[in-house]
Amino acid sequence: MKKISTFFLLTTCFVFSFSQTLVIKGSNTIFPIVQLWVEELNKINPQLRITLEGAGSSTGITALFNGTTDIANSSRWLKESEIKRMHDEEKYFIPIVIGYDGLAIIVSPELKIDDISTEQLVGIYTGKITRWNQINPNLPNQRIVAYSRNSASGTYETFVEKVLKGQRMTPNVLMLESTSAELQAIAISKYAIGYIGVGYVTNDVKILSVNGVIPNKINILNGTYPISRPLFMFLDATNGYPDTGPIKEYITFALSEKGQDLLEEAGYIAAYGY
């Protein structure tokens, strides 16, 4: 019994001494990409234990400041307040572009509309346009039900920056905590409209072109589509860039040919060609 106990103790110590952990938090948009990366990395290195949370870009960046995550996923650039906080706390976060995305404007497939202008989107989300026949007299005289991600989301920040240009969103907009919740809500609401990362789009909704431009790969990469954006991961390099270890292993895989292929499999656009 003593020999068995000793063997079990030694084996346990061996496993824990070689296991590695990695914590990733942040963007809900990037979440499905990282899920695919984690699944593949677990096959390559079973000893790598990865914890993944997707509650919004702001939560990831806050966690990076607090030291409760190794990598912060973000579907937006840093805010001025975050850059100031980095300076005040003498921290240095490195941004790494992992891919590109477009915010798809989505409605019910039953709604007889295929294109919308940025001016009309501004009208809807600031409360100046409230009914569909104000967009087009051939559309129903029905109230527009507008959905949005909440303010912790990088998708929300991107929409406010690129579409609303800083104008205040009307309180009548229904704010949701996740992209999947927004997608489901619009799929069952005939007169709803919303915006989500193009990688989340399913056949349950219809994508509208914006200013006559569809959010396809070429239009997003060259910036022709007006609501295009890069996707980032940030890491704290205050004490230097990681040359080895789980963070280095993860970044190397994410930017590899396989990692970029998986990003496109998730519906997004690779940042690096091979």
Whether residue 99 contacts residue 198, with contact meaning beta carbons closer than 8 Å, is answered with no
Using 50, 70 and 90 to split pLDDT, how confident is the model at 20? Answer: confident
Residues ≥6 apart with Cβ < 8 Å to 97: 230, 231, 232, 271
Q: What is the pLDDT of residues 57-90, one digit of tens each?
A: 999 999 999 999 999 999 999 999 999 999 999 9
For residue 128, pLDDT beyond 50: yes
pTM as predicted: 0.83
d(CA 128, CA 113): 19
Tokens, residue 215: 């959010």
Tokens, residue 130: 């409230």
CATH domain 101-228 topology: D-Maltodextrin-Binding Protein; domain 2 (3.40.190)
Name 195's bridge partners: 105
Q: What is the CATH number of domain 2-100+231-270?
A: 3.40.190.10
Q: What is the pLDDT of residues 86-126, one digit of tens each?
A: 999 999 999 999 999 999 999 999 999 999 999 999 999 99
Which pLDDT value is given to residue 19?
54
Tokens, residue 71: 């990598």
Q: What is the pLDDT of residues 188-237, one digit of tens each?
A: 999 999 999 998 999 999 999 999 999 999 999 999 999 999 999 999 99
How much of the chain, in percent, has pLDDT values that exceed 70?
A: 93
d(CA 99, CA 220): 11
Burial environment of residue 217 by CB neighbours within 10 A (0 to 12, 13 to 18, 19 or more): middle
HSE, side-chain direction, 13 A CA sphere, residue 100: 19
pLDDT average, residue stretch 1-5: 42
Q: Name the phi and psi angles at 50, rounded to 5.
A: -115, 130
Domain with CATH 3.40.190.10 in the chain: 2-100+231-270, 101-228
Within the chain, where are the H helices? 2-18, 31-44, 57-66, 80-88, 118-126, 154-159, 179-187, 217-221, 246-254, 257-265
Whether residue 55 contacts residue 151, with contact meaning beta carbons closer than 8 Å, is answered with no
Residues ≥6 apart with Cβ < 8 Å to 141: 131, 132, 133
Q: What is the pLDDT of residues 147-180, one digit of tens each?
A: 999 988 999 999 999 999 989 999 999 999 889 9
